Structure 1
Amino acid sequence: MPDTSRPPTSSSLTGSAADVSSSEESTPLGTVSIAPVSIATVSVAKTAHHVAAASAPVRVALLIISDTRTPDTDTSGQYLLAELQAQGHQVTSYRIVKDDAVEIRAALVAFVREATIVISSGGTGITGRDVTIPVVESLITKPIPGFGELFRMLSYAQVGGAAMLSRAVAGLCRGAVIFALPGSLNAVTTAWEGLLKSELSHLAFEVTRHGQPGVADLGGARPAGNLFSPPAATPAGTLNNLTGKPAAAKAPELGRHKPGSGNGS
């Protein structure tokens, strides 16, 4: 009969427990072992409505903040344009503005009126010219802190402590979600592949299904098979639209707003 009063020897441990013991012996006292985060291996359980909304096209506007970039040299913006179009989303506007708070705010206020998702890139650091985050935070009415937290977690696995310098942020402004990303292509790729690519349609679904305070109620059912994009005509007066040509007559849009309502008017 085995002596149950004595603790088990190392030979009686399971494989996983033995592995833990071995790992502890090889780790210096006072240090922490952090497993790297692999974007490709993350498995996510999705609810039924999450799956149903996963492929719906979304109206997206892109704002690039830079003193030096042009459409020809804007690798981050061109990457996002290609990825969004490959996923079937509708890019309503693509614009490059200087690191100037007034220009950034004006573009964002216009974009949240025409798109459900607004993605900005640039100006999220701590230099004297980085003014994007205060502008975005002044417009946000419902913060989404998890985005910045997860983005910096993914970045830490790639660049270490330098990830703390990014102030990437996200939140709702009226009927749209604004994501403020860093300007580098590597950071934009991390945010897109690790967080945004699989979630844009789900985010749009959550934003629009119950409406948002200060957003006009359009009434009626959404078009079948296209929960988040209105008819294909580009609204008249759209700022810096992709074709550069005069826009057609305005069509009804999800996320239109009552004059003078909400933040950022």
Structure 2
Amino acid sequence: MADMVDISGKIPTSRTTTAEGRIVLRANTVKAIREKTLPKGDAVTIAKLAATSAVKSTSTIIPLCHPLPIESIKVDVLTEKESVTVRVSVSSVAKTGVEMEALTGVMAALLNIWDVAKQLEKDETGNYPTTRIEGLRVVEKRVSGAPKHHTTENLKRKKAAVLTVSSSRNLKTDEGGALIEKLLKEVGVSVKRELVTDDAELIRKSALKLLKRVNILIVTGGTGIGNKDVTPEALETLFEKRLDGFGQAFTQLSMGDVGSSAILSRSCAGIINRKPVFLIPGSPKACHLALTQLIIPQLAHILTELVR
């Protein structure tokens, strides 16, 4: 079994890790590195480039690592009498840490120093009797976490309703609604599901009824541009405040999956009776995208803001 850890319910936070390691070399090799006289080139510059490239490629080198958006990389190369120390600091705003990125950067830099310096390190038999890499470690790890009330821990015991709008499905065949229920329950939210046909008045009445009993309402289906797609018309007029960024972000994220067809979705969100309401497409893929990338990561924050 080899599975990547599911971090979909975590909140992106500012993360920085510093790692270091060193390569033990002959004194004359270190002198050549300082003086930039190695035949292959400037070892310090090569090491810094190698570390930077490796940090950005960590998820392809270590297969169970998540690909992360790297905000900054700082590489220091320090020469001593018979060794060179490399220190790499990596920063990211992400749902998981950057320890592996920093460690990978250090190792790549040290290996490239070995490669550049190996002509001076070999003995008469072509071996490396004293050259070695050692001391690879994480020096420091910092997380500027989201406030406690922004985390999914704060969602436990909250109640949500999933209202599916469809004239062709029922609760048993509604894969999108079932997926939403599963994802919400994974972060501790209890879920009630209902289904209504593509009728604006029925959608409105069902939504208002559910909002009397829950903290969150997710309406799935009826957000396209077909004649039967009336979910936005049914509910947008009830919004006390609009969350315009939700629809914009959802369209942008959807471009990666469906290309320019993403503009056909009229997904939106707003506040009704001081409770968040999200209108999203009915396909399981769209439901998963909306829940894992947008709704769940921000839901605790939204609920906190609404009671201030």
TM band (smaller chain): 0.5 to 0.7
CA distance in structure 1 between the partners assigned to 2:151 and 2:204 by the alignment: 34
- Structure with more of its chain in strand, by fraction: 2
- Within the candidate set 205, 219, 225, 1:106 is matched to 205
Q: 1:129 to 1:146 in 2, by over 3 A?
A: same
CA distance in structure 2 between the partners assigned to 1:148 and 1:87 by the alignment: 23
Corresponding residue number in structure 1 for 2:273: 174
Q: 1:55 to 1:130 in 2, by over 3 A?
A: same
Q: Does residue 152 of the first structure (1) align with residue 251 of the second (2)?
A: yes
* Residues 34-71 of structure 1: per-residue CA shift (max 9 Å, x gap): xxxxx974635654244466433221111000001111
Give 1:159 shift.
Answer: 1.0
State the one-letter code of the partner of 1:60.
A
Work out whether residues 54 and 198 of structure 1, in 8 Å CA contact, stay in contact via their aligned partners in 2. no
Corresponding residue number in structure 2 for 1:85: 185
CA distance in structure 2 between the partners assigned to 1:52 and 1:140 by the alignment: 25
- Within the candidate set 75, 96, 116, 2:175 is matched to 75
Q: 1:52 to 1:199 in 2, by over 3 A?
A: closer
For normalisation by structure 2, the TM-score amounts to: 0.53
- Which segments of 5 or more consecutive residues in structure 2 lack a partner in the other structure? 1-44, 54-65, 70-92, 95-143
CA distance in structure 2 between the partners assigned to 1:67 and 1:117 by the alignment: 23
Corresponding residue number in structure 2 for 1:65: 165
CA distance in structure 2 between the partners assigned to 1:105 and 1:51 by the alignment: 30
Work out whether residues 112 and 175 of structure 1, in 8 Å CA contact, stay in contact via their aligned partners in 2. no
Give 1:170 shift.
Answer: 0.2
Q: Give the aligned length.
A: 175
Larger Rg: 2
Corresponding residue number in structure 2 for 1:135: 234
CA distance in structure 1 between the partners assigned to 2:214 and 2:145 by the alignment: 25
For normalisation by structure 1, the TM-score amounts to: 0.61
Work out whether residues 53 and 205 of structure 1, in 8 Å CA contact, stay in contact via their aligned partners in 2. no
CA distance in structure 1 between the partners assigned to 2:151 and 2:295 by the alignment: 17
